[in-house]
């Protein structure tokens, strides 16, 4: 349950943005979360709601986009979607696979009222 720590990092970053950009209120926070990050969206929503209660972000919604895991086979150069975290090339069965996406944990955007 590290979602609470993650939620708190999100809040700190957003509050900093609010200050530097002189934003009145934030209605939405758009997150990109890679499927391999082991973050449970419901827990993150719960943690975010808990720590923003009675703060300026109390009404802010978290919009979470899950980024699927994609791999690149170093042997036969095939790009493919990694299903169920099995990093094996569907073309040549090699397990020497680079990960192209699925590790993301970022704040993509905020929706703000000036």
Partner 1 sequence: MPEKIMIEKKVLSENDILAQELRKKFQEHSVFVINLVSSPGSGKTSLLEKTIGQLNDKLNIALVAGDVQTENDANRLIKAGGKMVRPIVTGGSCHLDASMILKSIEQFDLAKIDLFVIENVGNLVCPSSYDLGEDMKIVLISTTEGDDKPLKYPGMFRRSSVMIVNKTDLLGFSDFELHTVKENAKKINGQLKVFELSCRTGDGLPKWFDWLVEQVAFKKSDNW
The residues that touch partner 1, with contacts defined as CB under 8 A, are 1-2, 5-6, 9-10, 12-13, 17, 21, 23, 27-28, 31, 36-39, 85-88, 94-97, 99, 105-114
In the three-class reduction of DSSP (H, G, I as helix; E, B as strand; rest coil), residue 99 is classed as strand
Least Å distance between CB 9 and partner 1?
5
Residue 99 exposed, middle or buried by CB count within 10 Å (0-12, 13-18, 19+): middle
Least Å distance between CB 62 and partner 1?
11
Cβ distance to partner 1 smaller for residue 10 or 67: 10
User: CA 24 to CA 98: how far, in whole Å?
Assistant: 42
Q: What single-letter DSSP state applies at residue 37?
A: G
Least Å distance between CB 14 and partner 1?
8
Least Å distance between CB 5 and partner 1?
7
In 1-114, which ranges are E strands?
A: 25-34, 61-67, 70-73, 79-81, 97-101, 105-113
Cβ distance to partner 1 smaller for residue 40 or 55: 40
Cβ distance to partner 1 smaller for residue 50 or 108: 108
Cβ distance to partner 1 smaller for residue 36 or 67: 36
In the three-class reduction of DSSP (H, G, I as helix; E, B as strand; rest coil), residue 69 is classed as coil
């Amino acid at each position: 349950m590290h979602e609470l720590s993650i939620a708190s990092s999100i809040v700190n970053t957003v509050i900093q943005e609010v200050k530097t950009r002189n934003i009145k209120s934030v209605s939405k926070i758009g997150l990109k979360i890679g499927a391999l990050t082991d973050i449970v969206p419901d827990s993150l929503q719960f943690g975010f709601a808990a720590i923003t209660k009675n703060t300026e972000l109390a009404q802010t919604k978290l919009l979470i986009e899950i980024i699927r895991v994609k791999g690149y086979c170093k042997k036969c150069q095939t790009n493919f979607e990694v299903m169920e975290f099995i990093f094996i090339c569907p073309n040549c069965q090699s397990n020497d696979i680079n990960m192209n996406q699925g590790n993301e944990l970022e704040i993509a955007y905020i929706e703000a009222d000036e």
